[in-house]
Chain A
Amino acid sequence: MQVVVSTGLVSELIVPKPVPMVMALVDMLQDQEVWNFFVITFASTLVANLIAIGFGLSVALLLHYKQVWAKATTPIFGALFAAPMILLYPIFLVLFGRTQTTIIAMGALTGFIPIVLNTVVALDAVPKTLRAVAKSYGCSTRQEIFYVVIPGAAAGMFVGIRLGLIYSLVNIIGIEFLINFGGLGYLVSHMYDLFEITKMYAAIILVITVSAMFYVTLNLIQARINRISLG
């Protein structure tokens, strides 16, 4: 790539040379402002997911104990999961303005749906025998939920939480890019607006790396939870 760009086959205004790109990436990693962008994106993802997990698990528990409601609403959640939810962001812009609240609200909304869907499936998959044993020991419904149902469904519930976190992060970076506000997405958009092509490529590599590391970390946590719940 260095050779192709150096010989002028591809303009440096379109694809920068890899060496300056790597240097720009190293510079970025030493820049406090870039770390601030990183913190903003991750704090938004975390807050959005705390909201999504809170609402998602409550709704899923409710649906688990009201099966008719689950049957009536699961297709609706499924349709929403497949719908392009990110396109609702102009509505949130109208409601909350170009603020962090818009980004967090969108992250929470996109994280909420996979959490509900997967938690309902995970809770339904808890063996009836375990519940019967809990009942035979005289457990109350609250004890049954906290000591049998939730631990039994932990692995499946985390599948939803993991998906929720990934969807939230993807949507949050996407919205930051679209509205030129916030963290890592804003960084890419800002560099493009300044026509700092080398830095823009470095920022894109940074986003790819962060997303990949986030994905791998969540997979490792999932594997650990699966191991614990299996035995």
Chain B
Amino acid sequence: MIRIQITLIRLALLVFTIACWELISYSGLFYKEVFPSITTILWELTILLRTSEFYGHTWVTLFEVGAGLFFAISLGGVTGIIIGSSQVLHRGLDPILVALATTPKIIFFPIIMLLVGIGVESKIAMGALSAYFPICLSTAAGIRSVPQVFIDSAKSFDVSRLQLIRFIYFPAVLPELLTGVRLGLGVCIIGVLLGEIKISNQGLGFMAIEYYNMFNVPALYASLIVIFGMAVVINLAIDYILSKAVINR
């Protein structure tokens, strides 16, 4: 009974939102160009999905996100393990990392552009920088949470440093690392898209801001629907992959 009620409420909210939008669109309160009707937006969406240009932009963005996440996992995982396994490094660097993690990463974009130019590399770097902090901090926290008794027991078996990492640290840190990857992916997508919006000539962020510059508002809404949809699908996919990885561990 509750399930039916929940479904009905969600349906009612959807209908209410669409009705409000259409009402505003036809009321004349805003310019029709600013608040286009939902049918106009959906029509633009179908046009957008039929253009080859759109798929070109999508592949560029997906490549930038993938590469950015790869660098963030590599650097964040390694530095997280190093920082987490050393008391001194952790005490010294953790406050700095936390402070940097709370800073809006987009303000580093000018430095990135100076270092690697304004091409695809700058968006990859932006994505990597955004995702680096949650991955590094989660990994370090995971390493710190390994009970000392595990480490002492392993050492009593005279294991090497590599074996300690392979059999104690890595299995213990995997859930935290995966949480970091999950968090990192979200901010990586944002970082890449914001970089594309700021300065680029390709990618979904560029496409959306181009529609804004041309005042093609229905196409802007359509492109934002695609971007949000893509973000949801990527998040769900990574959730699925990560949950499989944990089960198989």
Report which A residues bind B (CB closer than 8 A): 13-15, 68-69, 71-73, 76, 79, 82-84, 86-88, 90-91, 93-95, 166, 169-171, 173-174, 177-178, 185, 188-189, 191-192, 197, 200-201, 204, 207-208, 211-212, 214-215
Q: Which of A71, A82, A170, A174 contacts B102 (CB 8 A)?
A: A170
Residues of A within 8 A of B113 (CB): 192
Q: B221 contacts the other chain (Cβ, under 8 Å)?
A: yes
Tell me the minimal C-beta distance from A160 to chain B in angstroms.
16
Are A177 and B190 in contact (CB-based, < 8 A)?
A: no
Residues of A within 8 A of B6 (CB): 68, 71-72
CA separation between A197 and B110, bound complex, in Å? 9
CA separation between A90 and B213, bound complex, in Å? 10
Tell me the minimal C-beta distance from A199 to chain B in angstroms.
11
CA separation between A79 and B236, bound complex, in Å? 11
Q: B106 contacts the other chain (Cβ, under 8 Å)?
A: yes
Known: A76-B10, A90-B208, A91-B224. A84 touches B190 (CB 8 A): yes
- Chain A-chain B contacts (Cβ-Cβ < 8 Å), number: 117
Given contacts A87-B190, A87-B205, A201-B111, 6 further A-B contacts (CB under 8 A): A14-B115, A84-B190, A84-B231, A94-B34, A177-B106, A214-B102
Report which B residues bind A (CB closer than 8 A): 2, 5-6, 9-10, 13, 30, 34, 98-100, 102-104, 106-111, 113-115, 186, 189-190, 193-194, 197-198, 205, 208-209, 212, 217, 220-221, 224, 227-228, 231-232, 235
Q: Which B residue sits closest to A10, measured CB to CB?
A: B115
Residues of B within 8 A of A87 (CB): 190, 193-194, 197, 205, 208, 224, 227-228
Main secondary structure of the interface of A (DSSP, over half): helix
Are A90 and B106 in contact (CB-based, < 8 A)?
A: no
12 A-B residue pairings within 8 Å (CB atoms): A15-B114, A72-B9, A73-B9, A76-B10, A79-B232, A83-B228, A84-B193, A95-B30, A177-B109, A204-B108, A211-B99, A215-B98
Residues of A within 8 A of B110 (CB): 188-189, 191-192, 200, 204
Are B224 and A88 in contact (CB-based, < 8 A)?
A: yes
For A76, A93, A94, the residue with the greatest tally of chain B CB atoms inside 10 Å of its CB is A94
Tell me the minimal C-beta distance from B103 to chain A in angstroms.
4
CA separation between A80 and B174, bound complex, in Å? 27
Residues of B within 8 A of A171 (CB): 104
Are A173 and B114 in contact (CB-based, < 8 A)?
A: no
Instruction: Give 8 nearest A-B pairs by CB, closest first.
Output: A212-B99, A72-B9, A192-B110, A90-B212, A72-B6, A211-B103, A170-B104, A215-B102
CA separation between A188 and B108, bound complex, in Å? 9
CA separation between A16 and B221, bound complex, in Å? 41
Q: Which A residue sits closest to B96, measured CB to CB?
A: A212
